[in-house]
Amino acid sequence: MDLMTLEKRLDQVISTDMTDQTPGMVLMITKGEEVLIRKSYGLADLETGEKITEDRTFVIASNTKQFTCVAIMMLKEQGLIDYDEPIERFFPDFPDYVKYVTVRDLMTHVSGIREYFEEDKWLQIPDSATADTERMLEIIKNFGDLTFEPKTQYSYCNSAYVMLGDIVRQLSGMPFGEFLKKRIFEPLEMNDTIAPDYKDVKSDKLTEGYTKDDKGNFVKQDYNMALVGYADGNMQSTVDDLFKWHKYLYMSDSEKLLKRETLAEAFKDNYLLDGTATGYGFGFFLGDYKGHKEIWHTGGTTGFISRVSRFVDDDISLFMLTNYEGLPKNELYEKIAAEIFRV
């Protein structure tokens, strides 16, 4: 692979969406344990003109979900939970659906539980920018009935992951973020990664996050607004730490966190009652990019967007962390992936 040519082409592609005067991105591409590209673009703070550097931290939003699932899998391996048990013992005061919705249903987005974003209910909570798990659970409980019977449809659901995070808290006796720190981040030496359990907790390296207003102007966002839901998308991380995560997941025989046979379940497809594949494992989308098998996830929240992909058979990982919520993430990903496999 001609890395100089690849970098030049990537610079051309990325320059159409970001410049040295706009919010930007850190991009990393690896093959095996070799870093091919590690490069930053744009500004961390538009007011001060501070540039993004490769070691900066971003909110990775729904890329948190794979960590949430690994936490559940760790508890499963300890014998504390079963994937196919109803969730009633964790949420006894919820509607009757807890008697037949299972932990697996929550993990794989087939539960039928309503999304807490519906009708902007979470915004009606006083001090909504700091909505904690307890208040989010109250919203979910008060929605009442399911939108469909479990396992009859696939519908991506952040509410389910709020509930999973609380299950982690209940079974471990630790706040969700503390569990991730002690059981995942520290063992893997992901030293620049945090999962805040409380408002105003952020990495010293965190960039500002931006959206655009109706006039096309960049607007700095309240950091705390990116934290709603916690276990569905509150983590902050760097490309370097996420590469450590990928080394553990895909390039190691280590059983530091889980037995390998347990971990392998995360990358298996799940199925509806009619036999339809969902294309989702435990916290990971399963698919391909033009014939290249891919395990991936995106993340989007107030001021931040991310994409983390593993091209399994090619031994290539792609990490895109941005501080601009309005970035056309799928289009940019497609352009970058096209250049990776063009060279």
Q: Where are the domains of the chain?
A: 3-342
**Gyration radius of the chain over CA positions:** 20
The confidence score (pLDDT) of residue 247 equals 98
Q: Which of 118, 16, 64, 42 is nearest to 301 (CA)?
A: 64
- What is the predicted pLDDT for the residue at 224? 66
Give the pLDDT confidence score for residue 134 in this predicted structure. Answer: 81
Nearest alpha-carbon partner for 212 in 295, 118, 326, 106 = 326
Residue 130 confidence (pLDDT): 44
- For residue 96, give Cα distances in angstroms to 87, 146, 285: 10, 10, 30
Please report, in angstroms and rounded to a whole number, the separation of the first and last CA atoms in the chain: 6
Q: Beginning with the edge strand found earlier in the chain, give each strand of the sheet holding 304-311 in spatial order.
A: 34-41, 25-31, 316-322, 304-311, 292-301, 285-289
Tell me the pairing of strands 218-220 and 34-41.
unpaired
Judge whether 304 and 59 are in contact, CB under 8 Å: yes
Planar angle of CA 50, 64, 56, nearest 5 degrees: 15
Q: Tell me, what's the pLDDT at 128?
A: 45
In tens digits, what is the pLDDT along the chain, a chain of 343 residues? 689 999 999 999 999 889 999 999 999 999 999 999 999 999 999 999 999 999 999 999 999 999 999 999 999 999 999 999 999 999 999 999 999 999 999 999 999 999 887 756 555 555 544 456 788 888 899 988 999 999 999 999 999 999 999 999 999 999 999 999 999 999 999 999 999 877 667 889 999 999 999 998 999 988 766 555 679 998 999 999 999 999 999 999 999 999 999 999 999 999 999 999 999 999 999 999 999 999 999 999 889 999 999 999 999 999 999 999 888 778 999 999 999 998 5
CATH of domain 3-342: 3.40.710.10
C-alpha to C-alpha distance for 338 and 334, rounded to whole angstroms: 6
Are the beta carbons of 45 and 221 closer than 8 angstroms? no
Query: Where are any strands of DSSP class E within 48-101?
Result: 50-51, 58-59
- CB distance 248 to 188 below 8 Å: yes
> What is the rounded distance in angstroms from the CA atom of residue 52 to the CA atom of residue 20?
9
Q: What is the pLDDT of residue 230?
A: 79
Select from 46, 63, 136, 73 the least CA-distant residue to 307.
Answer: 63
In the beta sheet, which residues pair with residue 321?
Answer: 26, 306
Q: pTM of the full predicted structure?
A: 0.95
